[in-house]
């Protein structure tokens, strides 16, 4: 059977942060940490870059604002001109509530869509999900998984690395393994 990757379980939160730093230093690119709760400092140890989600949200807000102003200007001053009480055909101060609402709406929608895209959601399964040790990552253990499609992946080297950084249970996971 084809190997999916190598998993290593840890019982100490500080050990997984240290191990993640070592795996990152070793140059692996296709790997991840699985923990039952967010671990402070783990992202930095893994070498995870800052997210671009704030920029996506900002651009969504800008697009929403431009769309709101353009829509009101087009409908009120160009397409269907109505002179009501001598007011101008388009006045910015009267458009502020619509501008705010459309800015917030498009910003929120772009944030949710951007978050789903960046997190690769919906992801319905994980290649490691049938492993009994991997299931412990939802309860009381911390797991590092290095995928077999990593350029630097060599089964013996990966197992030696995880054992050297203190993993309690290091094992190879194969496709179709049912260990639950």
pTM reported for the whole predicted model: 0.80
179 in a structural domain: no
122-175 tens-digit pLDDT: 989 899 999 999 999 999 999 999 999 999 999 999 999 999 999 999 999 998
- Mark whether 112 and 140 lie in a shared domain: no
Report the pLDDT value the prediction gives residue 180, as an integer from 0 to 100. 52
Domain that holds residue 111: 53-118
- Span 33-91, pLDDT tens digits: 999 999 999 999 999 999 999 999 999 999 999 999 999 999 988 999 988 888 888 98
Secondary structure of 17-42 in HEC code, one letter for each residue: HHHHHHHHHCCCCCEEEECCCCCCCH
For position 73, what pLDDT does the model report?
Answer: 94
Q: How far is CA 44 from CA 33, 50, 112, in A?
A: 12, 10, 24
**Closest alpha carbon to 148 in 118, 175, 125:** 175
Residue 73 is assigned to a structural domain of this protein:
yes
Mark whether 104 and 129 lie in a shared domain: no
What integer pLDDT is reported at residue 179 of this predicted model?
57
Q: Please tell me whether residues 58 and 37 are part of one structural domain.
A: no
pLDDT score, position 178: 66
Question: What domain count does the chain have?
Answer: 2
Which of these three, 103, 118, 133, is where a domain ends? 118
């Amino acid at each position: 059977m084809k190997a999916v990757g190598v998993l290593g379980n840890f019982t100490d939160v500080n050990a997984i942060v240290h191990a993640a730093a070592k795996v990152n230093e070793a140059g692996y690119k296709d790997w991840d940490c699985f923990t039952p709760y967010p671990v402070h400092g783990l992202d930095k140890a893994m070498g995870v870059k800052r997210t671009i989600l704030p920029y996506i949200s900002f651009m969504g807000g800008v697009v929403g604002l431009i769309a709101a102003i353009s829509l009101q200007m087009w409908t009120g001053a160009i397409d269907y001109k109505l002179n009501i009480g001598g007011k101008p055909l388009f006045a910015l101060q009267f458009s502020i509530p619509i501008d705010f609402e459309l800015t917030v709406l498009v910003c929120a929608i772009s944030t949710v869509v951007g978050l789903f895209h960046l997190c690769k959601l919906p992801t319905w399964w994980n290649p490691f999900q049938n492993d009994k040790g991997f299931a412990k990552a939802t309860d009381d253990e911390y797991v590092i998984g290095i995928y077999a499609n990593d350029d630097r992946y060599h089964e013996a080297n990966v197992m030696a690395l995880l054992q050297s950084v203190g993993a309690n249970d290091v094992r190879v996971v194969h496709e179709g393994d049912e260990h639950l």
